[in-house]
């Protein structure tokens, strides 16, 4: 009667597909920076300390390593020494007679009763030259260089060893590089020698040439795809990471993140990890990092020590108005969110594949009926060379099906290929997988409604390297 009208308005966002892809942006925190995020959902923000603190637990883990191999013993000893020097600890450094690993010829053996290994000797002297007999080692490396029967690989390792002893071999390395068509794998060791001797601009230029040709980048990691298998990838990515740290390249943390998130299967890389951290630590601050942020009109102060992480979850309006100030030290920011995907244009990883099929009573079908129990079979293929170490397998149940988790209610027995998702969000179910993987698995669903529905493509995607992703096939199912 008054002429007034009341109404409640609720806005909805409609997407043509349920398929989304996890996306992450990586930043060094700055004032007045723009952070990309979800246009209509929540964005998760994680802030970390990118100064010395990021390496604390890597060093702590090395002190806990066990075993009598040279790299294990040396890793424990040097890691504790670095913790004492850079993190203010005062623990006793392990008292080990490392010359027991040095054979009469001057080289180092993996165990006291083993034979000398040339590359191992060079790597050990790069991280701890004063724990061994330097004169004997120099004679060992010189004997290789003076031996006309030494092959190219042996000469490269010997030159690296001489550089580790700070011998003036830069000219010899240059001559060798100019006179030999070296494989990039061997060239990386000489680039490391050049960087160690202080010719950082020259080393940076040669490293960039190799990265331009052989690096696979999938934020937040960079992989150097050299060699025959995954362990080779880790070995050569480590060499590139050490050089990148020595020349202060922005690629260094990306390379290092690859080797620490996807460790080698059979090789021990303790000396390489130690060399990287030894190179990086002096270039970073040991103080906590801090910053202030303003959200919803309120200001907050955050301090991050060592590997502390501070997290925020924001909606689009909050992200747009979020501001930062009073930044002290280097703060890392990861902004992660889900965004819709166009399967026709998305870039996929050839090291990944996934397919799906449905069965009812052991018969393949895409037509279901009331009371059917549907077996959903997923067949992922994750190559050992895939850039991440852990993968998320996501399936999208059609609207007429519902995940079945209580098997006993349907007299279903356990099967070794049956897996349960780690996350259920409506029609979206997610499973974890390591690598390599070629074994299929299944889960059960029950019919909840009739009609014709879209069964959207399943997905396999890296947990860290979210750009490592591939999809199966979208199909239609009929429920009668």
Q: How far apart are CA 207 and CA 202, in angstroms?
A: 9
Q: How far apart are CA 442 and CA 64, in angstroms?
A: 39
Closest of 72, 129, 142, 127 to residue 102, by C-alpha? 129
* Cβ neighbours of 200 (radius 10 Å): 17
- In the DSSP assignment, the letter for residue 29 is -
Q: Which helix (H) or strand (E) holds 245?
A: helix 230-246
Q: How far apart are CA 265 and CA 10, in angstroms?
A: 53
Question: pLDDT value at position 209?
Answer: 97
**444's tokens:** 């059960």
Question: pLDDT value at position 9?
Answer: 76
Q: Which helix (H) or strand (E) holds 244?
A: helix 230-246
What counts of helices (H) and strands (E) characterise the chain? Answer: 12, 22
pTM for the full model? 0.81
Question: pLDDT value at position 2?
Answer: 61
For the chain, which residues score pLDDT lower than 70? 1-4, 10-17
CB 25 within 8 A of CB 44: no
CB 459 within 8 A of CB 21: yes
Treating both helix axes as pointing N-terminal to C-terminal, what angle do 56-63 and 270-280 enclose, rounded to 10 degrees? 140
**429's tokens:** 């179910």
* Cβ neighbours of 188 (radius 10 Å): 27
Q: How far apart are CA 375 and CA 446, in angstroms?
A: 9
* Cβ neighbours of 330 (radius 10 Å): 15
Question: pLDDT value at position 1?
Answer: 54
- In the DSSP assignment, the letter for residue 471 is E
């Amino acid at each position: 009667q008054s002429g007034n009208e009341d109404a409640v308005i609720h806005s909805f966002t409609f997407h043509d597909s349920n398929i989304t892809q996890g996306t992450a942006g990586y930043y060094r925190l700055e004032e007045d920076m723009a952070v990309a995020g979800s246009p209509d959902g929540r964005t998760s923000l994680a802030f970390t300390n990118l100064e010395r603190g990021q390496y604390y637990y890597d060093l702590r883990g090395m002190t806990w390593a066990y075993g009598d191999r040279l790299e294990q013993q040396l890793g424990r000893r040097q890691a504790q020494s670095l913790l004492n020097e850079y993190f203010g600890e005062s623990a006793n450094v392990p008292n080990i007679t490392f010359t027991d690993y040095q054979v009469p010829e001057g080289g180092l053996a993996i165990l006291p009763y083993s034979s000398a290994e040339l590359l191992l000797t060079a790597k050990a002297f790069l991280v701890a030259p004063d724990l061994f007999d330097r004169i004997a080692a120099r004679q060992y490396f010189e004997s290789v260089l003076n031996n006309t029967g030494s092959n190219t690989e042996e000469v490269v390792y010997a030159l690296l060893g001489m550089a580790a002893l700070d011998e003036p071999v830069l000219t010899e390395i240059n001559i060798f590089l100019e006179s030999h068509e070296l494989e990039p794998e061997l060239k990386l060791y000489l680039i490391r020698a050049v960087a160690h001797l202080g010719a950082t601009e020259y080393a940076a230029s040669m490293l960039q040439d190799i990265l331009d040709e052989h690096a696979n980048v999938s934020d937040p990691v960079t992989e150097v795809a050299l060699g025959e298998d995954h362990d080779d990838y880790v070995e050569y990515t480590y060499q590139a990471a050490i050089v990148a740290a020595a020349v202060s390249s922005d690629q260094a943390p990306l390379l290092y993140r690859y080797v620490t998130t996807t460790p080698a299967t059979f090789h021990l890389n303790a000396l390489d990890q130690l060399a990287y951290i030894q190179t990086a630590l002096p270039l970073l601050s040991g103080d906590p990092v801090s910053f202030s942020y303003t959200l919803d009109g309120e200001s907050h102060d955050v301090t991050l020590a060592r590997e502390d992480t501070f997290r925020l979850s924001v909606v689009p309006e909050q992200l747009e108005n979020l501001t930062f100030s009073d930044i002290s030290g280097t703060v890392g920011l990861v902004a992660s969110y889900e965004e819709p995907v166009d399967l026709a244009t998305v870039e996929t990883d050839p090291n990944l594949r996934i397919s799906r099929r449905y069965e009812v009573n052991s018969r393949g079908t895409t037509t279901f009926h009331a009371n059917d129990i549907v077996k959903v079979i997923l067949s992922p293929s994750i190559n050992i060379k895939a850039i991440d170490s852990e993968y998320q397998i996501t399936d999208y149940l059609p609207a007429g099906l519902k995940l079945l988790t209580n098997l006993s209610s349907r007299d279903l027995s356990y099967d070794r290929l049956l897996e349960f998702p780690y996350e259920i969000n409506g029609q979206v179910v997610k499973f974890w997988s390591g690598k390599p993987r070629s074994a299929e698995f299944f889960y059960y669903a029950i019919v909840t409604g009739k009609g014709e529905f879209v069964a959207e493509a399943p997905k396999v995607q890296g947990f860290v390297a979210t750009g490592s992703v591939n999809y199966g096939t979208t199909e239609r199912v009929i429920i009668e």
